[in-house]
Amino acid sequence: MSSGFPAERRQTPRVAVPRDIDCRLDLRTRVRLLDISLSGALLATELPVPSGTPAELRSALGASAFRTEVQVRRSLALPAGVPMNGVGTVFTSMDERSRRSLEDFLRKASQ
């Protein structure tokens, strides 16, 4: 007689974890850089990202590497036909090399 549950496949038993144990799961998702300024960037992401989420953004701006810590400030709808999630971010920290890379990129893009 079948119980309706699949056969147990675990090799070892699971143990419930108390609620006061903090856990963090860093997920990777495909990201498209839509626009950028000195203070932040608008991204399109495959997965929705809640406001307040910290993340690391790495890219190449022109020929230079760019890396910054960001915080998601808002989610927004993208134009019809774009099957991704709009994410507005603000830069929270950046090394000097990335700052120069960003400034050079913005200067060349505005000419």
CATH code, domain carrying 84: 2.40.10.220
Q: Within a domain: residue 14?
A: no
Provide the pLDDT for residue 13.
76
Q: Within a domain: residue 4?
A: no
Q: Within a domain: residue 83?
A: yes
101 Cβ neighbours under 8 A, 6+ residues apart: 61, 62, 64, 65, 66
Q: Within a domain: residue 21?
A: no
Q: Within a domain: residue 89?
A: yes
DSSP conformational letter for 110: T
Number of domain units in the chain: 1
pLDDT digit of tens for each residue in the chain (111 aa)? 555 666 767 778 777 888 888 777 677 888 999 999 999 999 999 988 999 999 999 998 878 889 999 999 999 988 888 889 999 999 999 999 999 999 999 999 998
Question: 81 is in which domain, residue-wise?
Answer: 31-109
Provide the pLDDT for residue 23.
73
Q: Within a domain: residue 22?
A: no
Element (H, E) at 104: helix 96-109
Q: Within a domain: residue 43?
A: yes
Question: pTM for the full model?
Answer: 0.75
Cα–Cα distance, 23 to 85 (Å, whole number): 25
Provide the pLDDT for residue 14.
78
108 phi/psi in degrees, rounded to 5: -65, -35
Q: Within a domain: residue 46?
A: yes
Sign of CA dihedral 93, 94, 100, 102: negative
CB 38 within 8 A of CB 103: yes
